[in-house]
Structure 1
Amino acid sequence: MNYKDCEVVVYFCGGINSYYQIKQWQRPFEELNKTQKVLYIITDYEVYKQYLNDQTLEVIYIETFSDLIEFYDNNEFAVTLYINNSLRNFQAIRYSRGYHIHLNHGESEKESMRSNQSQAYDYVFTVGQRGIDRYKEYLLNFDVNKFIQVGRPQLDFITKMDIKKDNSQRVILYAPTWEATHASMNYTSVPKYGEQLCKKILEDKRNILIYKPHSAIGTIDEDCEISNNKIMKMVEESQNAYYMEEENINDVFTLVDFAFFDNTSVMIDYLHTNKPAAYIEILEDQSINELTKAFKTINKDNIHNVIEILEDELKNDSNNEQRKIVKEYYLGNYKQGESMDIFTKKISQYIIQRNEKIGNIKK
């Protein structure tokens, strides 16, 4: 197999529950492909089949480590991009004749976003200054030259969504995360507050609920799965509720009047809208402190007053001024299309830089 005309590889290790990560980068990578040909390497066959159904960029399925080594050696790619933290990313990082750039699928204040794994990549692209500061705070051997701020290209491709509703109705988004693989990363509010929250929202006919859980919700914890199923049943039985699957989560923000989030990258992207929201606290984590200046915090002390808080925030938006400051810290200050332009130029810069180095080695 010869893919020598491809200079950019997107290496994806993840199961079908992680397919949303591919969807999230779809539009930026399609734009990048106009100037630098992009190839996806996928290591899961179910993901590969799904990709063929709804993606247009070139793709190859590689199952074994030995096939991956041979494929890289035969094609000499300039840049490899990574959109998650899979441990199997390190199978591709062994390739030493190209640059490895970590993008992730979104920034959050979860511990995975400040992992020492980042040191293995040649460069890590961050959204705003907070992305750089977060690594600086937690890494013992922080190298500022590895962390490059490019903004959030996804936000350049938001399209307006519509929903049938009366003028008096408000759209409320509940977008919880999953339970993760270990306790220190389990920020999901679903088993603790999810059912109670959705029930309270739907008691008022002025509210339209959009439920958008993480695609892996309930895959690790049985209690989480049970609660998610109960919420799904609640949504199905209500005329004022919707379940959101594969649609772009950033697009649904155009509908939303208020949102409830766990500690996720979705909450950070939502800063782009300048709309009020609430953060649901499950784990006490000081790293979230700066972000919570932008939103109300819901926890065990005030969950019983959640509707009163919702109504007050819809009317007064008490965090509005502080949120503007937090937004710039997390997302930067980019004009429409500027982030995508910076992203493309940085990739091109590293391709040229890499090719020059390879040329010097051959001489």
Structure 2
Amino acid sequence: MTIRRLCAVLRVRGKTELLLVILFAAGFAALPVLALLPSLWGFTVAWAVTYATDEALHAKAPGFVRRLATLQLSRTMRFAVRTVMLLALADRTDAPDAVLVTGLAVLSAHFLLVMMYSALHHAIRRRRVLPVIVRNLDMSGIDVPEPPPAYLYRRFLRKLLHLDLPAHIGLIIALASGTWYFAYAGYALTIGAALAALAALLGQFRSVRAMPGRDAVIGEVNRQLAGYRPEVALYFSFAAVSRDFMYQVNMWIETLEQLDRRPVIVLRERASFRFLGRTRIPVVCVPKADDLAELELSGVRVVLYPGNAGKNVHMLRIAEAKHVFIGHGDSDKLASSNRVSKVYDEIWVAGRAGRDRYRRVRHAISDGAIVEVGRPQLAPVRLHADHVPGPVPVVLYAPTWEGWSDDDCHTSLIPMGVPLIERLLAENVRIIYKPHPLTGKRSAEAAAADRTIRELLRADEDRHTADDARPRLQEIRARLDELSGRHEGDDAQQLRDARAPGPDGAAQWQELHAEWHRLFWASRSGARHHVILEQLPTLYECFNQADLLISDVSSVVADFVASLKPYVLTNAQDLPDAEFRAAYTTAGGAYLLDRACTRLPEILRSVREPVHDPMAPERRVLKEYVLGPDRPTSMERFNTAVNDLADKALAERAEDLVTPIAEPTAQPIL
């Protein structure tokens, strides 16, 4: 318990990271003491421990290292402390003044060269930032210089600071042997290597002067867009963007690829561009509103918005297009029927439940603006009738995140997540734990509960993973990233590497995607539990593995309804069943779990003994109400909605061109 409490206080995961932190702190605390004693061999050991643990923490606990920087204990400061303590040790052991003065001068010059290198690196990086980044457009017509070599450009500070090692080692050897030649040799190596690195980067700086300017980049992107002639745009922005938010876009990619109209994806933040999934659709990332205004999007007739964000206004200004809010899932949360949606021409929902949800916003959203299009993404979800359960029930626990407020309908993690997992562990079930990507972003309590659940499940998960499958899984992931068009490097490198997708990429991606999932589940067939935190395996593949879902009020539940499998909604506030079901549509086919989880054994009986599944008829009724009818398919309905709205926009545009704008009638002055 003490170790767990220490891990929580220091915000590290497990005993290994805690041991590294303790060694790191002890090493730095010992440096001044051993320097002043003086104790050469004790200092050398502490010095080596600080170096080794510093590097290990960067690899294993980067969050802890970032927190050190907020306390003004940055990497540069830690290197400076080691240097000062070493010089203090040399002074206390009566090293010659010439050695001390030269060492101080050399190591000071080393830090000065690091500062100059950092300034030069910043200048190169700033020049290589472009107004537009693209994927799946052929940008070979514009000349973009290659980036500096990785050994000069990436993680440069880490490499440069370590150039003090020759000087440190030389001085330590000199202090031990009394032969001062070693100190001077180390000094020379440190300063020579730093000067060589700076000279090499200066040569790279000359090449970035050939970077194309803003007008040239936007002009070439517009030429490519004019050749492609996009008709439908998916537009996405999020203020606190990271990979955690990109699920809102990635869930729509396959649907867009099946449209009759030519789609394009428009993103606004560079970070989101890097975490976009595989697609053959042209993608344009434009961080600045002024640059977005200059893009050639005049042929776009329908703009789709998966999220509400302030930057949406930069696209909403296009009067010739029709603007549609499609969201990123049908949920019973209040945020899923937002008054802000009134700014869109239409709001597309999965089924009649979505239409009824918007009726809560009285007099704000017209019923005629609501269009039921189904959920095309749910095609991979297998039906309960096609599912073959294993000998041990599989329970998927997929809690939602804590949200932007403390709304009662949000995550169950804080009030009951850990007790729920403990109760499940007491049952003979396998657990798949897949938290929301944003879990713990706002609430420390949610983050702590999430860490505790991972600790409870992960030991068993890791112990049963087949090591022989990992190389192939990594190989497939690398190839999937390549087929996704993901490229390492900065804006300029990604623009330089951008090409139109090949004809066979989509089929190969689908085959590798299916192979990855087959191999993943087969390699973990001996595992009792799973913690799923990455994009793979997908949520819907987890659906297909599960016999039962336990979740909170969220779009995950609405999507799971498509499988017709039994599912559980957490009732953390212990509301009366009738009141809870009246408040949340998806509760109509759910088993309700109280905060103390006393109903859990009876709920699990519905999986172990399917004849005792009284909610099965309710789920069949609810499926059509929430997701719409099975025929025509969701993809057909969505495609029809796009075509109809695009035709409407085109007809209105043609009417505007032939109908003159009436001059205002002068009113007499009374």
How high is the TM-score relative to the length of structure 1? 0.90
Percent identity, aligned pairs only, is 23
Q: Could you give the per-residue CA deviations for residues 77-98 of structure 1, whole angstroms, max 9, x where no partner exists?
A: 2111011222322332122110
Q: Partner of 1:319 in structure 2? A: 615
When you count strand as a share of all residues, which structure comes out higher? 1
* C-alpha distance 233-126 of structure 1, shift in aligned 2 (>3 A): same
| Aligned pairs for 1:222-233 within 5 A | 222-233=444-455
Q: Partner of 1:306 in structure 2? A: 600
Report whether the alignment pairs 1:106 with 2:401: no
Q: Could you give the per-residue CA deviations for residues 310-337 of structure 1, whole angstroms, max 9, x where no partner exists?
A: 23554211211122222221111213x7
* C-alpha distance 120-314 of structure 1, shift in aligned 2 (>3 A): farther
1:107 is paired with a residue whose SS is coil
C-alpha separation between the residues in 2 aligned to 1:87 and 1:242? Answer: 37
1:138 is paired with a residue whose SS is coil
Q: Could you give the per-residue CA deviations for residues 46-78 of structure 1, whole angstroms, max 9, x where no partner exists?
A: 111222x63332111111122223326x63421
* Higher relative contact order structure (alpha carbons within 8 Å, sequence separation ≥ 6): 1
Q: Partner of 1:276 in structure 2? A: 566
Q: Partner of 1:358 in structure 2? A: 653
CA contact (8 A) 1:179 1:185 kept: no
* C-alpha distance 68-287 of structure 1, shift in aligned 2 (>3 A): farther
1:343 is paired with a residue whose SS is helix
Identify unmatched segments of 5+ residues in structure 1: none
CA contact (8 A) 1:128 1:332 kept: yes
C-alpha separation between the residues in 2 aligned to 1:140 and 1:183? Answer: 27
1:333 is paired with a residue whose SS is coil
C-alpha separation between the residues in 1 aligned to 2:304 and 2:585? Answer: 29
**Equivalent of residue 273 in structure 2, options 41, 45, 48:** 48
C-alpha separation between the residues in 1 aligned to 2:409 and 2:287? Answer: 30
| Aligned pairs for 1:9-20 within 5 A | 9-14=233-238, 15-16=241-242, 17-20=244-247
Report whether the alignment pairs 1:36 with 2:261: yes
Report whether the alignment pairs 1:252 with 2:476: no
Report whether the alignment pairs 1:168 with 2:456: no
Q: CA deviation at 1:170?
A: 1.1
Q: Which amino acid aligns with 1:147?
A: I
CA contact (8 A) 1:178 1:186 kept: no
2:441 is paired with a residue whose SS is coil
Q: Which amino acid aligns with 2:283?
A: V
| Aligned pairs for 1:11-90 within 5 A | 11-14=235-238, 15-16=241-242, 17-32=244-259, 35-51=260-276, 54-71=278-295, 75-90=298-313
Q: Which has the larger radius of gyration?
A: 2
Report whether the alignment pairs 1:208 with 2:430: yes
C-alpha separation between the residues in 2 aligned to 1:130 and 1:100? Answer: 22
2:371 is paired with a residue whose SS is strand
* C-alpha distance 251-125 of structure 1, shift in aligned 2 (>3 A): same
1:96 is paired with a residue whose SS is coil
How high is the TM-score relative to the length of structure 2? 0.50
C-alpha separation between the residues in 1 aligned to 2:284 and 2:408? Answer: 32
C-alpha separation between the residues in 1 aligned to 2:651 and 2:354? Answer: 29
Report whether the alignment pairs 1:295 with 2:584: no
When you count helix as a share of all residues, which structure comes out higher? 2
Identify unmatched segments of 5+ residues in structure 2: 1-220, 461-526, 659-670
* C-alpha distance 86-314 of structure 1, shift in aligned 2 (>3 A): farther
C-alpha separation between the residues in 2 aligned to 1:211 and 1:104? Answer: 25
C-alpha separation between the residues in 2 aligned to 1:66 and 1:286? Answer: 48
C-alpha separation between the residues in 1 aligned to 2:636 and 2:584? Answer: 31
Deviates more, 1:304-313 or 1:18-27: 304-313
C-alpha separation between the residues in 1 aligned to 2:357 and 2:230? Answer: 33
Q: Could you give the per-residue CA deviations for residues 9-39 of structure 1, whole angstroms, max 9, x where no partner exists?
A: 100113121111122112211212xx21111
Aligned residues: 352
Q: Could you give the per-residue CA deviations for residues 238-275 of structure 1, whole angstroms, max 9, x where no partner exists?
A: 24111223133223222211110101101011111111
CA contact (8 A) 1:9 1:79 kept: yes
Q: Partner of 2:189 in structure 1? A: none
Q: Which amino acid aligns with 2:261?
A: Q
Deviates more, 1:343-352 or 1:258-267: 343-352
